[in-house]
Copies of this chain bind each other. A is one copy, B any other.
Amino acid sequence: MPEERVDRRLAAIMAADIAAYSRLMGADEEGTLRRLKAHRKELVDAKITEHRGRIVKTTGDGMLVEFVSVVDAVRCAVDIQRGMLERDADLPTDNRIRFRIGINVGDIIIDSGDIFGDGVNVAARLEGLADPGGIMVSSVVHDQVRDKLSFGFEDLGEQEV
């Protein structure tokens, strides 16, 4: 039986979610949603558009975005994290909305606008390992951007993701 051809492409995948989302919602549901909506509109979505990203899907507090370039994906993530730090600077630490972001590169499968594959799963697992306000990238992302961007990277070594 011939192998069915699937639509594949190389992409940089960014997975993001909000740290301590349940706690924030438990403390102030309407306020958290309102602030999140403003962050999305004024910062996150604008930065994603600027860096030619495509929002694949959003969940309650999560977001999956694909980029055509790794450099764009990392720049976007840094812009978002820096922007969030400024926007919530006046709030007590416990009230701040802070994203955790994971970035990976993969040869992904595209089907009906959604994306699938190891590359996507690993991005989600990297996100889970990121500190609130931080960005965790895979070694292939690091290899692709280390000579192209002026950000510092902290090497966390081999981690099973």
A70 lies within 8 A of chain B by Cβ = yes
A69, B9: Cβ atoms closer than 8 Å: yes
Binding site secondary structure of chain A? mixed
Contact with B along A104-130 (1 / 0, CB 8 A): 011100000000001000000000000
Q: How big is chain A's contact interface, by range?
A: 20 to 34
A8, B69: Cβ atoms closer than 8 Å: yes
B107, A8: Cβ atoms closer than 8 Å: no
Closest chain B residue, CB of each to CB of A140? B140
B145, A107: Cβ atoms closer than 8 Å: yes
User: Smallest Cβ distance from A143 to chain B, in angstroms?
Assistant: 7
Contact with B along A80-105 (1 / 0, CB 8 A): 00000000000000000000000001
B-side contacts of A70, CB under 8 Å: 10, 107
User: Smallest Cβ distance from A124 to chain B, in angstroms?
Assistant: 17
User: Smallest Cβ distance from A41 to chain B, in angstroms?
Assistant: 23
B-side contacts of A106, CB under 8 Å: 144
A45 lies within 8 A of chain B by Cβ = no
B-side contacts of A76, CB under 8 Å: none
B-side contacts of A140, CB under 8 Å: 140, 143
A15 lies within 8 A of chain B by Cβ = no
Measured CB to CB, the residues of A under 8 A from B are: 8-12, 68-72, 105-107, 118, 140, 143-145, 147-148
Given A10-B12, A10-B105, A140-B143, output 9 extra A-B contacts at Cβ < 8 Å.
A8-B69, A9-B68, A10-B69, A10-B144, A71-B107, A107-B144, A107-B145, A107-B148, A140-B140
